[in-house]
Amino acid sequence: MTPSAPILQLQDIRKHFGGLTAIENFSLEVFPGEIVALVGDNGAGKSTLVKIISGVHPPSSGTITIEGKPVTMSNATMGRAHGIEVVYQDLALADQQTVYMNMFLGREPLNRFGLLDRRRMIAETEKLVKELDVRIPSAHATIRDLSGGQRQGVAIARATHWASKLILLDEPTAALGVAETARVEMIVQSLKQRNVGILIISHSLDQVFKLSDRICVLRRGKQIGVRETRKTDKNEIIAMITGLQQQ
């Protein structure tokens, strides 16, 4: 799997808050149809990177290139406009609204009278939910009536619906049980066929090895290295994360 051009390219990304350097000279490429895992200890700068890539924080220096075009973003709306969607670990869903309203939250389609096009929202939700095999009772179900795994399935479906370039998954299974985690992992795995780049942040190395094509290790804001998943093992990655590389 060697597609021609990376869908996302980060070059010499640097971010400091005041005198504090959060990210130093970070470079990474993500190709379409590829899952890249971003790992690192707490405070390594993973969340800062998510915010930079999703557009919430602009980098202090360095360039972000999407499909060959350099972009500047200063908020999440701009990130979304560039086809980047984030699935947050704490599920940014409105609990008392229906599945279909959540799918289209902030981007509701309107009919020719300028009113909400519920029929279209429901039809598109049902189609996508079926494609991704997210098992929910119906598009009309209220979010809070769903299990944690079903909710995360909805959040991923929403990101999938809107992401034309990149899906960022920030600890997507941190709050889930074993069976639910397995379901969500299957859904993530199926996203590869959609030819978008997928960047997943996870604390679980088992999960990282199960899902990813490449693993990027971050320590104290610096990129320690990128490994192809099938050519490395847990010991090497753990050594890189903790900084005990030279045994």
Partner 1 sequence: MTSANTGTEMGSFASRFNLQQYVVYLGFLAIFLFFAFMLRDSGFLTVRNLSNIVLQTAPVTIMAIGLVFVMSAGEIDLSIGSIVAVSALAAAVTIASYGMAVGIVAGLGAGILIGLINGALVAYVRLPSFLVTLATMGLFAGVSRSMTDLRSISVTNEAFTGFFGSGSLLGVPSLIWWTVIAIAIGHLVYRETRFGAHVLATGDNARAASVSGISVPKIRLAVLTISGGLAGLAGLLYAGRLQAAKYTLGETDLMTVIAAVIVGGTLLNGGKGSIVGALVGSLMMGMLNNGLILMGLSVSDQMIVRGLIILTAVAVSLRDKSR
**Chain residues that interact with partner 1, rule: CB under 8 A:** 76-77, 80, 86, 88, 91-97, 101, 105-108, 110, 114-116, 135, 137, 141-142, 145-146
End-to-end CA distance of the chain: 33
CB of 56 to partner 1, least distance (A): 9
- By beta-carbon proximity to partner 1, the closer residue of 86 and 198 is 86
188, two tokens: 């993530």
3-state secondary structure of 99: helix
Least separation, in Å, of the C-beta of 145 and partner 1?
A: 5
Residue 80 or 82 with smaller CB distance to partner 1: 80
Count the helix, strand and coil residues of the chain and give each as a percent rounded to the nearest 5: 35, 25, 35
CB of 116: closest distance to partner 1 in angstroms? 5
Distance of closest approach, residue 79 Cβ to partner 1, in angstroms = 10
What DSSP state is assigned to residue 116?
B
Judged by CB, which is closer to partner 1: 58, or 225?
58
Q: Of the two residues 65 and 164, which places its CB atom closer to partner 1 in the complex?
A: 164
Beta-strand ranges (E) seen in the chain are 8-17, 20-30, 35-39, 61-66, 69-71, 84-87, 166-170, 197-201, 214-219, 222-228
Smaller CB distance to partner 1: residue 80 or 219?
A: 80
Question: CB-hemisphere CA count at 13 Å for 193?
Answer: 6
Q: For the chain, how many residues are written?
A: 247
CB of 108 to partner 1, least distance (A): 5
Could you tell me whether strands 69-71 and 84-87 are parallel, antiparallel, or unpaired per DSSP bridges?
unpaired
